[in-house]
Amino acid sequence: MTKKERLQILIVGLKEKDAGKTSLARALLAYLKEKKLNACGFKPRAGNSVWYDYDVVHEALSQGRLYGKDAKLLKTVSAFGSDAGAIVEEFINPFHRLWAEPPHIDPITQIPYFILDRITLWLKEGVRNLVVENEALPVEYRCNDAIVERLRAKASGIYHVRDLETLNRLTKRYYDLAVELVYKKMNKQYDCLVIESYSDIALPWKGLRDLNAVFGVKPGQISVYEPDKYLTAVQLTASTYSQKELATSRIVELVKPIKEVKTPPFTSDEMIQGLKEKIPLLLEF
């Protein structure tokens, strides 16, 4: 691997759920910190189910915040940047969605079954937390108002979505902006960024460039992709398919890994150390 002034590694999932992205990201961050490198985790977009992840959802909402377990875990292994006060979950994860159950798309409104979104804008004049509430969500799937009361009280702005047009307008105006603002700030503060995508999405946002490596992970295997070829495959696929979000399954059909590293099953206590021992194999190519 050619060493550059700044190191940016993208981790993507080769399966939709429980691929192991956050575990690998934590191991990589721990490895980089041991090498005395100033490294930070970055999960631009994330979401949690109010049913399956209620511990961390309740913890966050009780503080008037919204973040998920992945951002919380990445924070614990990220180094302090030049602005030590900025490393909070909303910095590592500027956009977070609270999902209802089931998390599918409404056949009439075409709006996903989400309860609300938290968007954090890291502006020069200060941090703004915006809340987007899905009022098109059927009543039986909505959250008790008392649960999100503190989040609303602390929000810099609250937007109500009743139709797809409004959601698309807000998405275009704020969602990628939130990611780009943090990304620029991180690049000023850190030497190394470990960028984790969500689900099995090939690229967490369109503006991501200048990668040093791409790691695709699934149980039992980590695949290393040449970053320029991977990004080119994403561009080619995006020009062919109309979907806003491209799955890694489409990309890996076009680009072969330059290396594959096998991983055995680990216990929870062994996971990070076991993966950390694989990192030199991933970085040497």
Question: What mean pLDDT is predicted for residues 98-124?
Answer: 93
| Residue 209 CB neighbours (<10 A) | 9
3-class DSSP state of 284 = coil
Distance CA 127, CA 118 (A): 13
pLDDT above 70 as % of the chain: 95
Q: What is the pLDDT of residue 83?
A: 59
Whole-prediction pTM: 0.92
DSSP 8-state class, residue 254: T
Instruction: Give the pLDDT band (50/70/90) at residue 1.
Output: very low
DSSP codes of every residue in 129-151: EEEEEETTS-GGGPPPHHHHHHH
Q: What is the mean pLDDT of the chain?
A: 91
Question: What mean pLDDT is predicted for residues 148-160?
Answer: 95
Q: Which CATH architecture has domain 1-37+191-285?
A: 3-Layer(aba) Sandwich (3.40)
Domain boundaries, the chain: 1-37+191-285, 44-190
